[in-house]
Amino acid sequence: MKMTNGGNKIIYRLWAPLYDAVVGGFFLPGRKRSLEVLDLQPGERVLLIGIGTGADLPLLPEGVEAIGVDLSPDMLARARAKLPLPGRTVKLLEGDAQSALFEEKSFDAVILNLILSVIPDGRICLKMAMQALKDGGRAVIFDKFAPEGKSPSIVRKILNWFSTLFGTDITRRFGEIFVGCSGEVIREEASILKGMYRIILLRKIPPRVSVL
C-alpha cells in the first residue's frame, strides 16, 4: 500500500493518543543516540521534521532554538502538551515536509527521526531538509531501512502491506533516498533491532563553484 498524506493523517490521528505509551520507550534509545551524534550546541537553530508527539523535544540541550513540523495536527497537539521546556525555545508548525517550508540555509542542524520511512516521498523530504541547512550544517537520521543492493524479499513486501496500515514502509533503502542529496555521510551506525534501524549523520556540502 502506498503512503499518502491523506492516509497518514488518518493513521496518525489514531496513533496520537497511543504513540508514546505503545512505542515511545522502544524508540527512546535510538532517539537519544541520534541527538548524541548530532551534538547540538547552545545557540544553534535546529529543525525537527516529522516531530510527531514531540518525543525528541526533552532530549534537546538547553540553549537551542527549535522548530518542529508535522503533517498531523493530532500528533502536534501531543507535542504542544510537552511545552514549555526550560532553556529551549520551541515553535511547532503544521505542514508538509515534502515542500519548501523554510528559507534556504536557515538552520544549523536538522533532525529526521522516523520520518523518511513514513512520508510519501522520502527523497523529496531529505532534499527539502538539506536545502534548509546552512552550508556545512548537519542532519541526523534515525530510521529503518531495507538492505542495500537487493530488492526486498517477497516476505518483506507482504509484511510491508501490513506495516503501511500502521503508517510505515519497511521496504525503503537509504541509498535510493540519498540519490542527488547535497550532502555527505560522515557517520553511520547500527541501532535497535540488530541494525534494522540505523543512525546516519550527514553534512551539507556547499555547491562547487566552477572556474572558467
pLDDT along the chain (212 residues), means of 10: 91 97 97 98 98 98 98 98 97 97 97 97 97 97 93 87 91 95 96 96 82 52
pTM: 0.94
User: What pLDDT is attached to residue 209?
Assistant: 54
Q: Are 186 and 201 in contact (CB under 8 A)?
A: yes
Q: How far apart are CA 199 and CA 174, in angstroms?
A: 11
All structural domains of the chain with their residue ranges? 5-204
> What phi, psi does 37 have (nearest 5°)?
-65, -40
pLDDT score of 212: 53
CA dihedral 67, 176, 149, 144 (to 10 degrees): 30
- Cβ pair 117, 32 in contact under 8 A: no
pLDDT at 136: 97
Q: What are the DSSP E strand ranges found in the chain? A: 45-49, 65-70, 89-94, 107-113, 133-144, 183-190, 197-204
For the domain spanning 5-204, the CATH number is 3.40.50.150
Q: Can you say whether residue 53 is alpha, beta or left, with left for phi > 0 and alpha for psi between -120 and 50 degrees?
A: alpha
Nearest to 76 by CA among 95, 60, 99: 95
* pLDDT at residue 161, as a whole number: 87
